[in-house]
Structure 1
Amino acid sequence: MASLADVSPPIALGALDGRYRGAVAALVDHLSEPALNRMRVHVEVEWLIYLTDHQVVPGVRALTDDEKAQLRQVVTDFGADDIAEHAEIERETVHDVKAVEYYLKRRLQRIAPADEDRGLAELIHFCCTSEDINNLSYALMVKGAVEQVWAPKAQALVDQVAAMARELREVPLLAHTHGQPATPTTLGKELAVSAHRLGRQLRRIDGQEYLGKLNGATGTFGAHLAAVPEADWPAISRGFVESLGLVWNPLTTQIESHDWQAELYADVARFNRILHNLCTDVWTYISMGYFAQVRGQGTVGSSTMPHKVNPIRFENAEANLEVSNALLDVLASMLVTSRLQRDLTDSSMQRNIGTAFGHSILALDNASRGLAGLDAVPAAMAADLDANWEVLGEPIQSAMRALGAQGVAGMENPYERLKELTRGRRIGQAELVEFVRGLGLPAEVEERLAALTPQTYTGVADRLVDHLDG
């Protein structure tokens, strides 16, 4: 049997780089291995420019505007040939960050080739440990992936659910608490609950701090002080980290502690879990006939049953949310721990960040497509409401309680009397109205309760949807 591993171009092992490549391709610019190396080049370039601009090392000239532009162009143009060149250097160094340093030194020789400028190359990776470059690179990569790719897709889904909530705000729905018929609500209000929960998590994520450090092999600025003792290295470090758009972490070991990553991944995982809850609820409503899958459903539902239209988008979303959360959870738990001043468990773990976000994005895509293919079926919801008049036992006994508290005679034991009427049996409008009329209620209350139906017993559910706007 021929080996599929020998097929060219290479076959992807994982689903994200194979079957679902199109849905997650935008993440490649942020969280792939080449993206990591490009960001390392970016950090090294900016550190060189920062050092020379601020004359940190005495006697070293500042770079010209043209030289700085050319260095930054190295980052902008980082492509297939550069990826291959870096890989070739890494095969010699067996160290990815050192390979970035050597790669950039080659580029600097082309930009500033004069003999007197050869010393500038020694300021590339000056006083840095690999983690100084890596932690800043990952912070920038994750920040970009969240703000430019994941969050816009997540916000679009929240907006989609919110729009559905507003559209369906007045459609009455029989609630099911513990799987049993319960106080009616509206379909729009239930969707609004999900939109509100998801939106709250997005606001937390939007306020996330992305931390970074540049302080040497054990976080003491030891090499920095030895090289240039007169410089205020903590201030220089802070200025550089903040110039990258990150929050400076002043106290670290060799590694930035990654606590901010754990915080972010916990919030994204919580968003995923709320979305998972929405998917299972919508799946259930579809199975109950409350939603019809009618738009964009020209596909095969079952290979043997022609009548079927399966809710595959929501099932796919659920599966991908589970995979995403498994990775986000292990990232959050592992990254906050490092033995003494450094171990390399974080290096391997962080290479899975893109996969974690990729599965979340795939779920967002599927959930959005699934929701876009739904139409509410008010008739099905109305039929269930009409078959469950016993849910009106709650408002009747509550009205009796209020009257009893006001001293109206004959309102004793309202809960027990409604329990005897409704529990374990189905009643209809006639039985309920007869019961109400026999209670001796004040006329206004009697007429109000006699006119009540399961469809109209929705409280202020439709108005609650307005809270999505504020």
Structure 2
Amino acid sequence: MAAPTSNPPVPENGKNADMYKYRSPLVSRYASPEMAYNFSEVKKFSTWRKLWLWLAKGQQTLGLDVSNEQIKEMEANLENIDFEMAAAEEKKRRHDVMAHVYTFAQCCPKAAPIIHLGATSCYVGDNTDLIVMKDALSILLPRLARCIQRLAVFAEEHKALPTLGFTHYQPAQLTTVGKRACLWISDLCMDLRNLTRAKDDLRFRGVKGTTGTQASFLALFEGNGEKVDMLDAFVTNQAGFPKSYMVTGQTYSRKIDVDVLSALASLGASVHKICTDIRLLANLKEVEEPFEKDQIGSSAMPYKRNPMRSERCCSLARHLTTLVMDPLQTLSVQWFERTLDDSANRRICIAEAFLTADVLLSTLQNISEGMVVYLKVIERHILQELPFMATENMIVAMVKAGGSRQDCHEHIRTLSQEAAAVVKQEGGDNDLVARVRGSAYFAPIHDQLDKLLDPTTFVGRAPEQVTNFLEAEVKPALKPFASFLDGISELSL
């Protein structure tokens, strides 16, 4: 086999140029336009320019020599970014911030002397990251709320539908389809709280200088600390944050990245659990994710209906849950006021965490809006196991009719083992009830058997639990997001 060429092929006339280089599937295949833009170069570098503008405005307001003409020139060029010039400058200077200071200055010659005045690179870098993370959380939260609402509709619809419960993936006491969905919703509600808290806890780095002491700004204002505080507050307010971090090094603490990505990783684990359950239910043919009319389940086996959306969620969720290790490691090795070994890592893990979470929620919404429940299959599985579960009820009924518990237990034990052998060894249906009906010993309760085998009497308080949970916890959690939920009046479920 030939070795890889050192000179990769070049597209003819630039046609399909993007196809000749790696593209992240998170953007090219999956993520929403909103989230993809949020982590774009345009968003990043236009935000840098806004930060330089806000800094200049604040300095002007507090008495430094910054003219209205310089301010207007900056305002007119916030998105007039010459990316080719910036790339060339960065290649020459080996410094991305100074490359963009230079590029901004070229289209703002009058403002050039005061752009980035008193600031360090982290003034634009860290503050932009905080803005982008806050905006990303604002994109995710309504989408998470929408998934919760869609699953809540499903839970309400099926709150009283009995189904086999499973512990250790072995048939256990009955639950309901809606109650199981509430287990999923409960986890997602915790994620909603976690992401809301992460967003609300975010502060701004503000103007803190090279090691966080604000020394450069103190010099600009000739030792007037009050003006330095006012500048910090001004820029923080312009960026839409109520507070800035009171103490920082050159960077904001990388523990903040840990906090945010931990919440995202937790969301990933929740979605993985939900979609694993759906994959298992699809194997049982009890519940399936949506399957389009022309969708192909397998290239080799045309009859298959693979749960590909749930599989995608599990695949991407594994990636999301591992990404939190990056900020954990980064935080642990930040030396003193900062070290630059955080930079390249953060460019990847923060964006990928949010992009992946975005994909998970859009896919989970699609799944939750079109899940199909197969009632007859569920009923058949219940009938395979319910007679065994009803044996205690049969014993109690026989005792009430005058029988001995020990004798009843022995008769039931014998008939149960015979019926189990038919199921396991011969592949037949569970005929325990037929055996009980055919036993003269159990004649006193023959007319009670249908009632004793009613699946709705085996689900406990599951239907009431669904109703109470949706009313007491889910509706209040969704209320702040009512405007994003299809205009649903009073968040009716």
Give the TM interval when normalised to the shorter protein.
Answer: 0.7 to 0.9
Amino acid at match of 2:466: V
String of CA shifts for 1:59-110, please: whole Å, max 9, x gaps: x25637xx656533433x34xx53233223323332111122223333333x
String of CA shifts for 1:269-327, please: whole Å, max 9, x gaps: 10111100000100110110102456414122222222112111111111111122222
Alignment-derived partner of residue 117 in structure 2 = 126
Alignment-derived partner of residue 377 in structure 1 = 374
Alignment-derived partner of residue 283 in structure 1 = 279
Q: Is the 8 A contact 1:279 1:317 kept in 2?
A: yes
Q: 1:392 to 1:87 in 2, by over 3 A?
A: same
Aligned-partner Cα distance in 1 for 2:48–2:152: 40
Please tell me the root mean square deviation across aligned C-alpha atoms, in Å. Answer: 3.7
Alignment-derived partner of residue 71 in structure 1 = 74
> Aligned residues: percent identity?
19
Q: Is the 8 A contact 2:288 2:307 kept in 1?
A: no
Alignment-derived partner of residue 84 in structure 1 = 84
DSSP 3-state at the match of 1:349: helix
Alignment of 1:289-300 (within 5 A): 289-292=285-288, 295-300=291-296
Q: 1:292 to 1:315 in 2, by over 3 A?
A: closer
Q: Calculate the TM-score normalised by the size of structure 1.
A: 0.81
Aligned-partner Cα distance in 2 for 1:334–1:415: 63
String of CA shifts for 1:19-54, please: whole Å, max 9, x gaps: 506x34322321134432222112111111111123
Amino acid at match of 2:231: I
Alignment of 1:255-404 (within 5 A): 255-292=251-288, 295-335=291-331, 337-352=333-348, 353-390=350-387, 392=389, 396=393
Q: 1:180 to 1:364 in 2, by over 3 A?
A: same
1:50 to 35, 39, 58: 58
Aligned-partner Cα distance in 2 for 1:167–1:87: 56
More off after superposition, 369-378 vs 260-269:
369-378
Aligned-partner Cα distance in 2 for 1:395–1:211: 60
String of CA shifts for 1:414-458, please: whole Å, max 9, x gaps: 9999889868946734667999x98x99xxxx9799535234311
Aligned-partner Cα distance in 1 for 2:136–2:391: 49
Residue 396 (structure 1) shift = 4.1
Aligned-partner Cα distance in 2 for 1:324–1:185: 31
Alignment of 1:119-158 (within 5 A): 121-148=112-139, 150-158=140-148
Counting matched residue pairs gives 441
Aligned-partner Cα distance in 2 for 1:68–1:391: 80
Are positions 1:168 and 2:170 aligned together? no
Residue 145 (structure 1) shift = 1.7
Alignment-derived partner of residue 232 in structure 2 = 237
String of CA shifts for 1:221-255, please: whole Å, max 9, x gaps: 22222332124224532442244223311122211
DSSP 3-state at the match of 1:387: helix
DSSP 3-state at the match of 2:306: coil
Residue 216 (structure 1) shift = 1.1
Amino acid at match of 1:84: E
Q: 1:153 to 1:238 in 2, by over 3 A?
A: same
Q: Is the 8 A contact 1:293 1:373 kept in 2?
A: yes
Aligned-partner Cα distance in 1 for 2:235–2:453: 68
Q: Is the 8 A contact 2:38 2:135 kept in 1?
A: yes
Amino acid at match of 1:462: P
Alignment-derived partner of residue 249 in structure 1 = 245
String of CA shifts for 1:380-409, please: whole Å, max 9, x gaps: 001111111255359749989xx9xxxxx9
Aligned-partner Cα distance in 1 for 2:61–2:126: 23
Aligned-partner Cα distance in 2 for 1:73–1:206: 35
DSSP 3-state at the match of 1:216: coil
Q: Is the 8 A contact 1:218 1:341 kept in 2?
A: yes
Alignment-derived partner of residue 204 in structure 1 = 194
Amino acid at match of 1:82: D
Which is richer in helix?
A: 2
Q: Calculate the TM-score normalised by the size of structure 2.
A: 0.78
DSSP 3-state at the match of 1:6: coil
Q: Is the 8 A contact 1:389 1:428 kept in 2?
A: no
